[in-house]
Amino acid sequence: MDLTHLGRSAPLPGSPKEARLDYVPNPRPGRPYLVRFTAPEFTSLCPVTGQPDFAHLVLDYAPDGTIVESKSLKLFLGAFRNHCGFHEDVTVGIAERLVAEMAPLWLRIGGYWYPRGGMPIDVFWQSGEPPAGLWVPDQGVAAYRGRG
């Protein structure tokens, strides 16, 4: 296991493509369970204006052989602060990279974006049906009424 971030000084990557995600062995293989990461202050840039866009991301996954190391995930998500992308591309792109690299049993993401031009944009994606017997709680983010 070659971890690049845990226990070390790790600067914020310049872009999501430069970010390296670390994975460690699943400590509970063979039993489906859900892992949730929440990033209530996620930021990326509008590809048209270059202005910052803000979102509350909720990432749920059921691991298979590995789990994502949380510091590397935090740095990966932080790398989007200088990345230009539409809400749909950013949200789905985060999930697709994790699925491609980690190969979880199941993954879903909810991107609850704050208004742009007076309209909030929420983006949802999942890799398929959740495993049988997996408890999948509601993501707990209310419909837009001045997010909070």
Which of the residues are catalytic?
46, 53
User: Which residue matches tokens 């495993």?
Assistant: 131
d(CA 64, CA 25): 9
Q: Which amino acid is at 82?
A: N
CA 116 centroid distance within chain? 20
Whole-angstrom distance, CA of residue 133 vs CA of residue 71: 29
The 10 Å Cβ neighbour count of residue 146 is 8
* Cα dihedral value 51, 53, 54, 55, nearest 10: -170
